[in-house]
Amino acid sequence: MLFNIYLNELDRFIEDTLIPAYTKGDRRQTNRRWKQRYDRARRLRRDGRNLDEADRIERELRHVPTVEPFDPDYRRLCHVRYADDFLLGFAGPKCEAEAIRDRLAQFLGVNLKLQLSVEKTLITNAADEKAKFLGYEITTTRSSGARSANGYIALLMPPEVVRKLTQRYSREGKVRHRKELLTETDYTILNRYQSVLRGLYNYYCLATNVSKRMTTAKWILETSLTKTLASKLKCKVSAVYRRYQVVLPDRRFLQVIIERTGKKPLVAEFGGFPLVRKPDGMGMVDFRYEPAWHSSASNRSEAVLRMLAGKCQLCGAEGPVQMHHIRKLADLNQPGRAAKAAWQVIMSARKRKMLAVCEDCHQSIHQGKYDGPSLLDLLESRMR
């Protein structure tokens, strides 16, 4: 928010000063080489002679641009910014691109008292390199149709995304299970992995190569998921598939169903949606506060339920509560400590170390004046 307010001046400088200065010409000049050979092929076809030569020329022209790529009377400059990260697209020579960068650096330094990062402010030739912006790689690519010389801008999902995902879910070069999830239910484990898969896809669905990259990402997550469930259930991975896999004519996915008396069952799925490119993205999502906050209690987190209860867990006073974080739970993982109790293992794994307390008790805790029951004992009793 602060960057959007402060750097609004940068947007105005680019749009009102730089873009008019580095934009000229209605369109590029026609490529003379292309024009001459095109006219020759057309004459050959019109006269009905040497059609093989006309076919050969037309095939060659598919790899020749119709306009002059280095037209001195044509320039285009555009820009996009998100917070403090911005990208400028420029059709023109490198020397002018360097001049634009220098003018940006001068404006930021003199007018906004900001320093342009030389290491991150790169001039990239989109024809043979890739620019990085907001996690995407941006480059130009050639059409797969008849006009292979025509290029267009392409958004790519970087290979580093899959590489980092592999490192996160692997040990010693192999995809492994996640020990910290073994205390969770099968339903929760499936939801955790699905949220990672869905989050990656929702962000990179604009990418041209999203299907290729996300297929690999899905395999990594599914392998780790099935190994985690197998470790939790003390069975083989094949048994996990027999237990939870659903195979339909058009898709295959893993599913966990929790039946509830008098209520709709809880359903968790992993996969089950196509990993295809969406050029327009996921669209706008209208978040509605009321349904999200006041939905059924089964959909709320434990912290939210305790806040809605409006009762201090220390003195029992009713009214507005605040969440106090128990710092000592972080010490449970220190080397040399005694074996953890069952409740400590669960609290540490789930990172649930909060108590809902009133304002008076909260201040007493932070001021060192609280002399009531041990906070760890309260957590232990609550886990029981």
**Which pLDDT score is estimated for 201?**
92
Quick check: is 191 in a domain?
yes
Q: Is there a single domain that holds both residue 259 and residue 305?
A: no
**Which pLDDT score is estimated for 312?**
82
Q: Is there a single domain that holds both residue 207 and residue 187?
A: yes
Quick check: is 289 in a domain?
no
E strand or H helix at 203: helix 186-204
- Backbone φ and ψ of 142, nearest 5°: -100, 145
Q: Is there a single domain that holds both residue 209 and residue 240?
A: yes
Q: Residue 18 carries which side chain, given as an amino acid letter?
A: L
Cα–chain center distance at 274: 17
- Backbone φ and ψ of 196, nearest 5°: -65, -45
Residue 344 corresponds to which tokens in the numbers above?
């400590």
What is the largest distance, in Å, between two alpha-carbon atoms of the chain? 104
Q: Residue 329 carries which side chain, given as an amino acid letter?
A: L
Number of Cβ within a 10 Å radius of residue 347: 23
Quick check: is 115 in a domain?
yes
Domain that holds residue 148: 125-156
Q: Is there a single domain that holds both residue 149 and residue 165?
A: no
Task: Collapse the DSSP code of 170 into the 3-class scheme (helix H, G, I; strand E, B; otherwise coil) and give the result.
Answer: strand
H helix count then E strand count, the chain: 15, 12
Q: Is there a single domain that holds both residue 305 and residue 377?
A: yes
CA 68/CA 221 separation, integer angstroms: 48
Task: Collapse the DSSP code of 295 into the 3-class scheme (helix H, G, I; strand E, B; otherwise coil) and give the result.
Answer: coil
Q: Is there a single domain that holds both residue 135 and residue 216?
A: no
Quick check: is 225 in a domain?
yes
Quick check: is 282 in a domain?
no
Q: Is there a single domain that holds both residue 18 and residue 53?
A: yes
pTM over 0.85: no
Q: Is there a single domain that holds both residue 172 and residue 263?
A: yes
Q: Residue 27 carries which side chain, given as an amino acid letter?
A: R
Region of residue 365 (phi > 0: left; psi between -120 and 50: alpha; otherwise: beta): alpha
The neighbouring-strand residues paired with 77 are 90
Q: Residue 150 carries which side chain, given as an amino acid letter?
A: N
**Which pLDDT score is estimated for 347?**
45
Q: Residue 105 carries which side chain, given as an amino acid letter?
A: A
237-289 pLDDT tens trace: 999 999 989 888 888 989 988 888 888 888 889 988 898 988 888 776 555 55
Quick check: is 97 in a domain?
yes
Mean pLDDT of the chain: 80
Residue 138 corresponds to which tokens in the numbers above?
């941006």
In residues, how long is the chain? Answer: 384
Q: Is there a single domain that holds both residue 110 and residue 200?
A: no
CA 337/CA 345 separation, integer angstroms: 13
The neighbouring-strand residues paired with 60 are none
Quick check: is 278 in a domain?
no
Q: Is there a single domain that holds both residue 65 and residue 115?
A: yes
Structural domain count, the chain: 4
CB 377 within 8 A of CB 357: no
Task: Collapse the DSSP code of 91 into the 3-class scheme (helix H, G, I; strand E, B; otherwise coil) and give the result.
Answer: strand
**Which pLDDT score is estimated for 91?**
86
Q: Is there a single domain that holds both residue 321 and residue 356?
A: yes
| Residues with pLDDT less than 70, the chain | 142-151, 284-308, 326-353, 373-384
The neighbouring-strand residues paired with 269 are 255
Q: Is there a single domain that holds both residue 251 and residue 323?
A: no
